[in-house]
């Protein structure tokens, strides 16, 4: 595997070509790093599942470069979904839509829907448009971590997570730290009103400016398999405990205004909620790099982006550590 830092135009073309040749390319998005493969190539997609160690009935998000590509992948797109796409793309939002024939079972996990997103990172967009220039239809990219682990938000974190599982011709494109640091909001648009399957930077409040969102109780009726919806996700090796002060030798993550308990290892001291989200995964990873057994996190108060932070932290902490 080769690591490319701050890619030139030439290297972007090389990454697009590698994808077309069925290799894997990890690349930055504004949310987290993705592990990309040609979304129409079953062999390439199978490698994503094996590198991630992910069960093969968990669907992948297909990344595209413009709204014009939407109808290649989706049918029966409701008007509200077009509104959301026009408002929030390129950006941290994934729409789940009824699939077009191009979205095969190996992408959708056998479901009748497909996840689509236009990312806002310039490197991701450049790779996507070069890929489309050479005949590509879309890049499938889950977060570039092993199944159940914390999503990588830096090139180094990608290397640490999956470097040893990649093949010589695969690439890691390092475009620096991700600006948002938390995965996209996932909005199911297969019904007359949307459901939020995974909260993110595009919040309930922002979506409800366009369309009424189904209430949470409707979600229990939902049988869609979303790995991010499972508990035991987003977990570092260290045990994560929420809203407890750390003991000496333990890791501590909290807003800058909260002082570090004596003898603890401060892993992050963000000044605002956006910074909290942006640094959160690197902070958890920092605990693992230091081999800490436990990390205590004081969860910030509030709604909006805080809902997304809480969602991920609740999952990080709610596990029996089996691996």
Positions touching Mg ion (CB under 5 A) are 143
Q: Which does 199 bind (CB under 5 to 8 A by kind): ligand TXA, Mg ion, none?
A: none
Stretch that binds ligand TXA, among 68-76, 106-114, 130-138, 291-299 (CB under 6 A): 106-114
Binding letters toward ligand TXA, positions 59-78, x by CB under 6 A:
xxx-----------------
Tokens of 187: 């909005």
308 binds ligand TXA (CB under 6 A): no
DSSP code of residue 75: E
Q: Which of residues 140-179 bind ligand TXA (CB under 6 A)?
A: 141-143
In DSSP terms, 108 is beta-bridged to none
CB of 133 to Mg ion, least distance (A): 28
The distance of closest approach from Cβ of residue 5 to ligand TXA in the complex, given in angstroms and rounded to an integer, is: 19
Count of CB atoms situated within 10 Å of the CB of 293: 11
Contact 295, 150 (CB under 8 A): no
Backbone angles phi, psi at 236, to 5 degrees: -80, 180
Return the range that interacts with ligand TXA (CB under 6 A); candidates 42-50, 109-117, 241-249, 277-285: 109-117
Contacts of residue 101, defined as CB under 8 A and 6 or more positions apart, other chains included, come to none
> HSE on the CB side for 11, CA within 13 Å?
16
Query: Would you say 85 or 149 has its CB closer to Mg ion?
Result: 149
The answer to the question of residue 232 lying near ligand TXA (CB under 6 A) is no
Q: Return d(Cα 308, Cα 314) in angstroms, integer.
A: 10
**Contact range with ligand TXA by CB under 6 A, out of 11-19, 137-145, 209-217, 265-273:** 137-145
Q: How many residues bind ligand TXA (CB under 6 A)?
A: 29
The Cα–Cα gap between 103 and 190 comes to: 15
Counting contacts by CB under 6 A, is residue 94 touching ligand TXA?
Answer: yes
How far apart CA 154 and CA 32 sit, in angstroms, is 8
| Of 143 and 154, CB closest to Mg ion | 143
Tokens of 280: 């959160």
Q: Does 111 bind ligand TXA (CB under 6 A)?
A: yes
Query: What is the footprint of ligand TXA within residues 3-62 (CB under 6 A)?
Result: 29, 31-32, 34, 58-61
Cα 265 to Cα 144: distance, rounded to the nearest angstrom: 27
Q: Which element (helix H / strand E) includes 158?
A: helix 155-162
The rounded distance, in Å, linking the Cα atoms of 30 and 149 is 19
b/e per residue 10-38 (b: at least 16 CB within 10 A): ebbbbbbebbbebbbbbbbbbbbbbbbbb
Q: How far apart, in whole angstroms, are the C-alpha atoms of residue 57 and residue 71?
A: 24
Least CB distance to ligand TXA at residue 180 (A): 8
Residue 226 interacts with ligand TXA (CB under 6 A)?
yes
| Maximum pairwise Cα distance, the chain | 59
- Considering the complex, state which of residue 143 and residue 317 has its C-beta at the smaller distance from Mg ion: 143
Partner that binds at residue 113, options Mg ion, ligand TXA, none, CB closer than 5 to 8 Å by kind: ligand TXA
118 and 68 Cβ atoms separated by less than 8 Å: no
61 binds, among ligand TXA, Mg ion, none (CB under 5 to 8 A by kind): ligand TXA
Nearer of residues 111 and 143 to Mg ion, judged by Cβ = 143
Decide if residue 118 touches ligand TXA (CB under 6 A).
no
State the residues that interact with ligand TXA by CB under 6 A: 29, 31-32, 34, 58-61, 94, 96, 108, 111, 113-115, 117, 119, 141-143, 183-184, 186, 197, 224-228
């Amino acid at each position: 595997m080769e690591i490319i830092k701050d890619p030139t135009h030439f290297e972007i073309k090389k990454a697009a070509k590698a994808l077309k040749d069925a290799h894997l390319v990890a690349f930055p998005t504004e949310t987290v790093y993705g592990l990309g493969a040609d979304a129409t190539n079953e062999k390439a997609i199978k490698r994503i599942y094996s590198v991630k160690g992910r069960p093969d009935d968990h669907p992948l998000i297909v990344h595209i470069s413009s709204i014009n590509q939407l109808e290649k992948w989706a049918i029966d797109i409701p008007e509200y979904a077009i509104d959301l796409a026009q408002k929030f793309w390129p950006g941290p939002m994934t729409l789940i839509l009824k699939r077009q024939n191009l979205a095969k079972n190996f992408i959708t996990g056998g479901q009748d829907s497909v996840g689509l997103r236009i990312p806002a990172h310039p490197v991701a967009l450049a790779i996507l448009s070069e890929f489309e220039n050479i005949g590509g239809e879309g890049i499938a990219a889950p977060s570039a971590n092993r199944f159940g682990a914390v999503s990588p938000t830096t090139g180094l974190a990608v290397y640490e997570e999956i470097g040893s599982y990649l093949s010589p011709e695969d690439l890691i494109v390092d475009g620096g730290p991700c600006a948002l640091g938390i995965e996209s909001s996932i909005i199911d648009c297969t019904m007359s009103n949307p459901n939020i399957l995974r909260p993110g930077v595009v919040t309930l409040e922002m979506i409800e400016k366009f369309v009424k969102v189904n209430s949470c109780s409707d979600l229990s009726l939902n049988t869609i398999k979303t790995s991010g919806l499972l508990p035991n996700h987003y977990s570092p090796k260290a045990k994560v405990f929420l809203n407890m002060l750390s003991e000496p030798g333990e890791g501590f993550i909290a807003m800058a205004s909260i002082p570090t308990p004596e003898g603890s290892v401060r892993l992050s001291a963000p000044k605002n909620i956006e910074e909290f989200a942006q640094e959160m995964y690197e902070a958890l990873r920092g605990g693992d790099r230091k081999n800490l057994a436990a990390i205590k996190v004081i969860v910030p108060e509030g709604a909006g982006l805080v809902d997304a932070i809480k969602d991920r932290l609740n999952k990080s902490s709610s596990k029996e550590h089996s691996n």
